[in-house]
A and B are shown apart, each in its own frame.
Chain A
Amino acid sequence: MNEFVTAAPDSGLRRSQLYRKQQQAGAEFAGLNGATVVKQFAADDAQQLKSLAMVDLSMLPRSGFKGRQAPEWLTQQGVAIPAEPNRATRQEDGSLVASLSVQEHLILSDLQVTAGMSQQLANTWQMDADTACYSLPRSDSHAWLLLTGEHLRDMLAKVCGIDFAAEEFANHQVAQTSVARLNSILIRDDVQLADGSTVLAFHLLCDVSSVEFMWDCLQDAMDEFGGKPAGLAALLA
């Protein structure tokens, strides 16, 4: 269920570091299955997502695990591990699991925040002397942005050295690279919009303490193409 509940961005214990910037840009905030997110910026958010947009997903659940026995442990928990590093695999419940190395994995919630895998894994994991698998605080160490739109490749070319051309960078491929001089994880994960069209999309995760800097850099790079922030409602419609 995609039920947005009216909520102030600073009413909860967990607050995105971007909430002030988004407030200034006219964001309407709401609670979604326990997370305070931007519901929408403007009535044309859907059109914006097609053209060029960024959505702050930092309040959505995510987790990470690493260690030489991390793949075995995750498999035991029912996680479908990507076949090779720098790939991502959609899970049955809608979560996305990205393999950052043979021994390190990142689990992202679905956009509806209905998939429980990330939270369930975090709750299940315990320090165990016999299992070399260690949890990582990905919900707090990294901010999470979703970038979408037909101008996305051109925009990214201004801030990142990777060639994201379709034939070079397939859906669910992962790049661990530098964006605006910040270490970042980019995961291509094209999204389907309400009108049935599919649009190019990347998840971008960067150090949470620099997300305001990243937001400004991306906004600056997007201006040339009319890019703007958007809310989650248009993605979930």
Chain B
Amino acid sequence: MNATRDGYEHVQLVKRYSTCGMGPSQGRHSALATARIVANATGKSVAQTGVTTARPPFAPERLGHLAGRSFYPARYTNMHHRHLEAGAQMLQAGAWYRPAYYGPVNQRDNCIAAEVNNVRNNVGLVDVSTLGGIEVRGPDAGEFLNRVYTFGFAKQPLGRARYALMTNEAGVVIDDGVSCRFHDQLFYVTATTGGVDRVYQNMLKWNAQWCLDVDIANVTSAWCGVNIAGPKAREVLSKLCEDIDLGSEAFPYMGVREGHVAGIRARVIRVGFVGELGYEVHVPQHAGEALWDALMAAGKEHGIKPFGIEAQRVLRLEKGHIIIGQDTDAMSTPEEVQMGWAVSNKKPFFVGQRIIRELNKAPQYRSLVGFVVDDPKAPVPQESHLVIDGDKMTGRVTSCNYSPTLGKPVGMAYVPPGKTEPGSDIVIKVDGAPVAAKVVALPFYDPDTARQNL
């Protein structure tokens, strides 16, 4: 009922929006009931709505199969117990457990807002160990990355990081990360938590065809990482860094260094995912807890506080950074999501290049834009709420949160041509009611990137 009220009136859309019929029975129990509910809600008959596509299992499972032991592997970072001790509410991302926010459930929104404010005004620490990590090594490492990512990497200088956007053969954005060059022949590439296994498999598959002289290793579990972010990040980190000059000139934005943090061998990457001065510190997995303890102790006098995934999502949204898989879907091209700048037009080949060039010749049928809701009494739109024009669906919301920094809801949505320019008015259907929103230029926060370049 909620799905139809939100505007998803076709039974196939209801299935995808609600995941009804995607459980172990694959719709055996729910398909007809869903069709009846949709028919009832939309004033149609079941014959008109139809039912969703039936897929295996087609036959009943034997009890013998079901009676055996079932295993559901879980993954924890080396800092996991520190999160629990700090009162974290954990959420699952695949098999990983990650801190959503720190504090009681009934204080959720306040906790998240406080974490956001502490990063914007002070310094915060977030566990990023679940990020994928892949090492590409060998004489052809630069050439290999040139082919699998859209940007140029062959000439990437030592000690520098570059944004790495990956598309598939259809030109669809499938992952992103940062490529860090630590040696002529060593690139350490990060990938999304949920996407790294696919990225690694794709890399192996492609190089089985290309036969370049590289070694590809998935080192996700071998490294633990934190992002220390906020205007006081440098002050805190410098207390623990003896062999890395953290000065803004010696270690600029998108620089990478190797050295020691709190006596632990570390890879330090200066990044700005949350839009503040920030450093990702990656250390060997078994030293993760010791790193966390050292940073929390060093930052105590500066008011350091841990922040969770929810605050990180708000911070990155304020900065206008997309999350692959949330702000993209199975059709998203770089141009659609305003990532054309991350695509090199100079190199002869990368996976997806040919079709991206063709697609870019045609007019876009949708674009990802930023929007704000100015009416303080309006409900906050949620992910997958529809952008409508009269009774027509024209787009959908991909991210939306109340922004503690801007004092109003901000979000991203796919909108049709004609609604992409800043100042355009759009309407979002929230719980059945229209909410007025305005398209604005991204990012919402710190458009001159002065904060992360401190």
Contact = CB atoms under 8 A, between A and B. Distances in A.
Contacts of B221: 140-142, 207-209
B71 A58 contact: no
Interface stretch (B21-29, B73-81, B237-245): B73-81
Contact of A129 (B139, B222, B262, B286): B139
Contacts, number: 94
A140 B76 contact: no
A203 interface: no
A61 to B, nearest CB: 12
Interface string B254-286: 000000001110000000000000000000111
A139 B285 CA distance: 9
A129 B185 contact: yes
B321 to A, nearest CB: 26
A156 interface: no
A132 B285 contact: no
Nearest to A59: B286
Contacts of B73: 180-182, 210, 213
Interface residues of A, number: 34
A115 to B, nearest CB: 20
Interface string A205-219: 001111011000100
B215 interface: yes
A226 interface: no
B86 interface: no
A12 B69 contact: no
B138 interface: yes
Pick from A12, A58, A213 the residue with the most CB of B within 10 Å.
A213
A92 interface: no
Interface in A188-208: 207-208
Contacts of A210: 73-76, 95
Given A16-B286, A127-B185, A132 B71 contact: no
Contacts of A127: 137, 183-186
Contacts of A181: 71-73
A140 B81 CA distance: 18
A26 interface: no
Contacts of A58: 286
A15 B137 CA distance: 28
Contact of B223 (A15, A20, A140): A140
B69 A158 contact: yes
Contacts of A67: 215
A17 B76 contact: yes
A218 to B, nearest CB: 11
Interface string A157-169: 0110000000000
A213 to B, nearest CB: 5
A141 B285 contact: yes
Contacts of B213: 132
Nearest to B219: A137
A134 B289 CA distance: 27
A66 interface: yes
A142 B213 CA distance: 26
Nearest to A17: B78
For the complex of A and B, the 5 pairs showing the least CB-CB separation, nearest first, are A141-B222, A137-B222, A181-B71, A209-B75, A140-B285
9 contacts: A13-B263, A13-B290, A14-B286, A127-B137, A137-B222, A137-B223, A207-B75, A208-B221, A210-B75
